[in-house]
Structure formats: C-alpha cells, structure tokens
Amino acid sequence: MALHIKRIYEPKEDGDGTRILVDRLWPRGGKKQDAAVDIWLKDIAPSPARRGWFGHDPAKWTEFQRRYRSELEKNSSAVEDLKREIGQSGATLLYAAKDPHHNHAIVLRHFLSEG
C-alpha cells in the first residue's frame, strides 16, 4: 500500500490514489471543487484541544507526536475507517498546515505504517 502526504493546496496528481483530507476544519481559502478531495475524515484529526496546544510550534513537536498517537490509539473506529478507505490501492493524506515537517499527517502516516 502506497501512502503519501501532501498539502491540500498542491494539485492533484495521477499517483495520488484516494485523496483523503485528515483535517478537522476545511482549509482556509480552499474551494471544495478545486481540492479534489475524495473523502474527508474529520474524526482522525487531532482534537481541538491538542491542535490548540501544539499551535504548530516545532519546540512542542516531540510531545505533540506522543499525545496525538495516544489519541489515535483511543480512536480505533476512526483509524479503522481510514484504513478501510486507504485499502490496497493507496492514498494521499491531505493536510493544510504550512510546515511540511511538523504536522499531524506525518504522525498519522507513521502510526498507520506501524500497525
């Protein structure tokens, strides 16, 4: 299974597979018809409290990963929904964060690859 991540603002490509938005909120300024989102799984995103605490601060990255992974472990229903949508054909997890190195889609991809 190929699992990619990319910002939702990047154009759709042939190799994307199923495009799954993994943010709780719709990205600012993005039009739904332009985003080419196949599925929007809000419940897989970090909780509002977790997202607010992190605030995309790289200094909190290690602890954010630990806390978000803990949320994912307790959210087996959303994780199973995501795995089902990814299937065997592969998918791209879409996120809106500006930082390509410190965002929840990275944590989510690692979490899925381990289980």
pTM beyond 0.85:
yes
DSSP state of 15: G
What is the pLDDT at residue 34?
Answer: 79
Answer yes or no: are the C-beta atoms of 16 and 4 closer than 8 Å: yes
* pLDDT for position 1: 64
pLDDT given at position 70: 97
Q: What is the pLDDT of residues 25-76, one digit of tens each?
A: 999 887 777 789 999 999 999 999 999 999 999 999 999 999 999 999 999 9
Q: Residue 53 is part of which domain span? A: 3-114
Expressed in angstroms, the distance from the first to the final Cα of the chain is: 13
Question: What gap in Å lies between CA 24 and CA 8, rounded to an integer?
Answer: 13
**pLDDT the model gives residue 31:** 76
pLDDT the model gives residue 57: 97
What phi and psi values does residue 114 have, to the nearest 5 degrees? -85, -20
For the segment 81-96, what is each residue's pLDDT rounded down to a tens digit? 999 999 878 899 999 9
Q: Does residue 78 carry a pLDDT above 90?
A: yes
Domain count along the chain: 1
